Chain A
Amino acid sequence: MTNFNKTEQSSRELESGAACVAPDHDVVLLTAVRKELDQSCAALDGYTLSRLHRMRVAAVAKRAPRLSRLLVPFGGLVTAFALVVAVSVGWNARKAETSSPAAMEDMEILAGNEALDLYADYDFYQWLAQD
């Protein structure tokens, strides 16, 4: 059991030995200790109380939903979608480029056994054939 506003309740618990199994001579000590600590809390100065209050308000305000926080999942979704679209468009463009007839022709030339000089002088041989 968790106990927060419990000066009286804890005194009862201490006396009955529920909070901690304490012999009688410790009950007096524990009750006095608790009383002193509670009094030290009650005697906190204004600056400390004010600072604690501000800290609490700032912490609880973190719980408040902000528009930006609500949009985070949607923002992530939009980013992921844009990324998928960009990658697929780029992939298709590259695929189209590599699978064009000209590209296939180049690949055949490079993979063939003929000397590359023949293709370098291809225009000359074409002119010679026409003549």
Chain B
Amino acid sequence: MTDTVFNISHHDGLLMLRNIDDQAEPSAESMQAAQQRLLDRFLAGVEKRAYRMAVLATGNQDEAFDIVQDAMLKLVENYGNKAEADLAPLFYCILQSRIRDWYRRSSVRNRLRTWLHGDDEDDDSDGLDQQPDPAARTPEELLAAHGGIMALEAALVKLPLRQQQVFLLRAWEGLDVKETAQIMQCAQGSVKTHYSRALVTLREKLRDHV
């Protein structure tokens, strides 16, 4: 029985294991396929959390899908050849940039709508939608029925956007202050402030659920 010796090399973040006897360089196609597998594995690992972060930021599933899809495409197109360790900060940087873009667009849209229609845009309604639904459940009842996640979502959604995203990046993604500051494009002091304020608010609102 003969031992097989492998040559370990690092190319663009990919760990390449090659039989030492096989001195031929890996072909461009095999490198390409390996990088595609790396990207697929990375995106599969972050896509659900990215989607949840986008839903919490926008409150809209379709908008969240668009934001995540855009972030995935930009990552692959612009940084598809980066090493695995670099992909996460880049991906979250793109994701946060898209969320901020969405927030700016929706702010402008809301201001325009208010300016065009004023505050009396529901004048043509018959008032039925203003009446309480006897079958509807109060937020407190919903929270009691669905437990912590509803309470957590309700509390997270009410946080200011930057506090919310800083909190998610720090507490959920486990990023440190420096990485979070780079991703959020703000000072490290701002990250600490946002995180601290978010924590105080959540501690207050989730007191009964934790």
Write the residues of chain A forming the contact surface with B, with a CB cutoff of 8 angstroms: 1-6, 9-10, 13, 19-20, 22, 25-26, 28-30, 32-34, 36-37, 39-41, 44, 48-49, 51-52, 55-60, 62-65
Contacts and interface: CB of A to CB of B under 8 A. Distances in A.
B14 to A, nearest CB: 13
A37 B151 CA distance: 11
B72 A55 contact: yes
B199 A2 contact: no
A58 B134 CA distance: 46
Contacts of A44: 48, 51-52
B148 A32 contact: yes
B92 to A, nearest CB: 9
Contacts of A6: 174
Contacts of A59: 39, 43, 69, 72-73, 75-76
Contact of B172 (A34, A52, A57, A65): A34
Q: Is the interface of A mostly helix, strand, loop or mixed?
A: helix
Interface residues of B, number: 48
Interface string B50-70: 011000000001000100110
Interface of B: 28, 32, 35-36, 39-40, 43-49, 51-52, 61, 65, 68-69, 72-73, 75-77, 80, 85, 88-89, 148-149, 152-153, 168, 170-176, 179, 195, 199, 202-203, 206, 209-210
A13 B151 CA distance: 24
B36 A19 contact: no
Contacts of A52: 47-48, 51, 65, 68
A62 B149 contact: no
Nearest to B92: A2
A41 B176 contact: no
A64 B172 contact: no
B51 A32 contact: no
